[in-house]
Chain A
Amino acid sequence: MIWLAPWALAAGALGMLGVVAAHLLSRQRPRALSLATARFLPAGMLEATTIQRVPMDRWWMLLRLLILALLALGVAQPVRTGARVDVRTVLLLDRTLPADAQRRALSTLAPDDAVIAFDSLATLSAATLARVQVTRVASLSGALGKLVRMRDSLSRGARALQVTIASRFAPSALDAVAPRVRALVPDSITVSQVTAASEPMRVRAAPIVHADGDDPIRATVQLLGDSIAPAGSVVQRGASLAAQDSAAFSGGATVLWWPAAVAKGIPAMQALTVASATWIAPIAREAAPNPTGGTAVGWWADGSPAAWLERRGGGCLLHVRAALPLAGDQTLSLGAQSVLAALLTYCDDALPAAAPPPDWISPPPRVRDSSESGATRTSALAPWLVAAALALATLELLLRWRRAS
């Protein structure tokens, strides 16, 4: 059994202490004594505050304590957690995983299992990869700290806990983390790792970039490495060239046409999603007519298409409707690299020619955190407990009224 509002138990305990104190510290009338010469005593207060060693009116006190206890239990909303399970899985879920990876991880959970979500990308602002390893571990530490804090409530009703980490971390990194987890949690907790499914990237060769020497796309392509795209792929900044168009027909290569427009000022943050890659950056949408015969393969966060695919023979021609930010290193981010790599590998046979917008674009899958599970769960016992408390309170009023009359 768990409590959806455990603070009510503390409040009820305080209230019960107050009731006991009120019965100990009572303002009562002293005993009456018949005295024929009472009229010669000076008039004064007939009541006095006295501290009793034992509570007065113990039956009334017990009734009031019972009312308060029932009320506190009712407000605390007890929820029966069902039968005791042998092993409860606690999934530490990296929210930066692709949506399908998150779904795969969530689909392995039983109804009584719990999820602790964390966001590793929230700390991935370091420019050097050497520091990324450190920050990844630190980000996971937050989730692990939460796990340790919630261990008592999570282990209630289960003989053992199994911690599963779903992240894009490398297995070696997880292996480094695991001893720390085992050091933090009791022996009954076992840790296993589930990494996100690797994104298919068929690497063939480095794409050819037709752009200025300081064009940000060029740096992004260089960060991707030499074997990121099918051989003969071209990244074209600016106007589409007929020669490249024909090359796409003949060679079966991919031609990525990215307009040369740049965003003016500081545009709003946008999310550009291609397949399972998302790039969040101040990108400006470029208004341009949709290519005839093209299918949308890239999406903005609101579901509108951001990139089109045209099949040209054995190759592909991709149109991107995005103006890159003029300044900054946004194109060097992992998100930009992922989106560019996804576009360059979109013509691979493994990927559908025309993909609908991913489900998680609007809205993303809801992962219910164990710590916020009380917001949606309801207690069936709570109304009965509160009703019993109110009934007893009414009974007390009636008894007091009868006693007074």
Chain B
Amino acid sequence: MPASGLHEYGALLDAVRGLRWAARLRPRTTNVGAHQARRIGPNVEVTEYRPYRQGDDPRRLDWKLLARTDRAYVRLAPDIATTPTLIVLDASASMGAGLGGAEKWRMARMVCVGMAAVARGSGDPIGMVIAHDGGSRRLAPRSRGDVVREMIRVIDGAAVGGGPPLAPLLDGIRGIDRVVIVSDFLGDADALLARCASQVARGIEVIAVHVVARAELSLAVDRAIAVDPEDDAIRRPLARNAHRAYDTAFAAFRASLRNRWLACGARYVAIVDDQQPADALRSLVRAAIGSGAVA
């Protein structure tokens, strides 16, 4: 990994050290981790006993109690498990090209690395999928110590371009309890939303991180032709008298996007590229474990 990458992310990694990202849904895995699992397992901290029933694991019998009382009881304790997390990073042209594109892509990278570091700090396996012009780059969820470093290397090596769809990347994911989508949702937003809704129905926690450029929120350019970097056919005059209509339409789009993600049971977080990455990450974690959205 180049030294410049470490230097760029170093401040962020220091800032988010100690930050915990609790799973909003109990994980289904049995690997011992930091999140309370759905199942009650053979933990050392016994909370209750119940009579043994046929089918229970004999290993969970309290043999000492059986020897003293000749009654078969099973030790019950809340299990703790890891939350395998998959970060889906949108590297389409809209994330990095044109007005405010560089800042938007930088913020998206920061958020990805920060979330990976926070998840790794909780002992969660962390994986990533980057959708770019040439296809996608996938890193399977792992909990090794150098997973964050490897993610940085992959992210820094990714080139922004094209308009790859994100929805197919969610097909066939297994063993994932949490999916974080970092995108501007200007591509296949409808298909992605539908796919995520089905994942939510399967009990997977979905967090939509909407990265918006400040330059997109308040246009400061006129006398130009605005061209969509992903679709050259979309060409609109960028004049001063069009700013009000643009602001209205873009605000309506963001509100609609937020409402639809929340309606399908996902979390929605909107971050602007001029925020401090650490602050954005904290608000993201709060929203992920909180009631819903942070805009």
Q: Hey, which bits of chain A sit against chain B, CB under 8 A? A: 29-46, 48
Contacts and interface: CB of A to CB of B under 8 A. Distances in A.
Contacts of A45: 237
B227 interface: yes
Name the 6 nearest CB pairs between A and B, nearest first. A34-B98, A36-B94, A41-B236, A38-B226, A40-B249, A35-B226
Contacts of B253: 40
A30 to B, nearest CB: 5
Contacts of A34: 97-99, 101, 226-229
Contact of A40 (B94, B100, B246): B246
Contacts of A30: 223-225, 237-238
B289 interface: no
B252 to A, nearest CB: 9
10 contacts: A35-B229, A36-B94, A36-B228, A38-B226, A38-B235, A38-B236, A41-B242, A42-B246, A44-B239, A46-B237
A39 B104 CA distance: 18
A46 B94 CA distance: 21
A41 B226 contact: yes
B237 A41 contact: yes
A40 B247 CA distance: 8
Contacts of A31: 223-225
Contact of B250 (A40, A44, A46): A40
Contacts of A29: 225
Interface majority SS (helix, strand, loop, mixed), chain A? loop
B216 A36 contact: yes
Among B98, B104, B213, B221, the most chain A Cβ lie within 10 Å of the Cβ of B98
Contacts, number: 97
Main secondary structure of the interface of B (DSSP, over half): mixed
A37 B242 contact: no
Contacts of A48: 223, 237
Contacts of B186: 36-37, 39
A35 B184 contact: no
Nearest to B184: A36
Given A36-B99, A43-B237, 20 more contacts: A30-B223, A32-B225, A32-B235, A33-B227, A34-B97, A34-B228, A35-B98, A36-B228, A37-B186, A38-B235, A40-B246, A40-B250, A41-B226, A41-B238, A41-B245, A41-B246, A43-B236, A45-B237, A46-B235, A46-B237
A36 B95 contact: yes
Contacts of A40: 246, 249-250, 253
B236 A44 contact: yes
A33 B239 contact: no
Nearest to A43: B236
B234 interface: yes
B234 A39 contact: yes
Interface string B249-265: 11001000000000000
Contacts of A37: 186, 216, 246, 250
B96 to A, nearest CB: 9
Q: Range of interface residues on chain B? A: 20 to 34
Interface in B114-166: none
A31 B226 CA distance: 9
A33 B224 contact: yes
Nearest to B250: A40
A51 to B, nearest CB: 13
A283 B216 CA distance: 101
B237 A38 contact: no
A30 B249 CA distance: 23
A255 to B, nearest CB: 104
A44 B237 contact: yes
Contact of B221 (A33, A42, A44): A33
Contacts of A44: 236-237, 239, 242
Nearest to A39: B234
Contacts of A43: 236-237
Given A33-B99, A44-B237, A39 B224 contact: no
A43 B239 CA distance: 11
A223 B25 CA distance: 141
A39 B233 CA distance: 10
Given A31-B224, A44-B236, A46-B237, A36 B246 contact: no
Contacts of A46: 225, 235, 237
A44 B222 CA distance: 14
A34 B230 CA distance: 9
Contacts of B246: 37, 40-42
Nearest to A45: B237
A44 B216 CA distance: 19
Task: Report which residue of A37, A41, A43, A45 has the largest number of chain B beta carbons within 10 angstroms of its beta carbon.
Answer: A37
B242 A39 contact: no
A46 B236 CA distance: 7
Contacts of B249: 40-42
A46 B223 CA distance: 10
Interface in B174-222: 184, 186, 213, 216, 221
Nearest to B228: A38
B229 to A, nearest CB: 5
A36 B250 CA distance: 11
A129 B99 CA distance: 97
A130 B101 CA distance: 101
A32 B99 CA distance: 11
A42 B248 CA distance: 11
A32 B242 CA distance: 16
A184 B272 CA distance: 87
A36 B227 CA distance: 8
Given A38-B226, A38-B227, A38-B228, A33 B250 contact: no
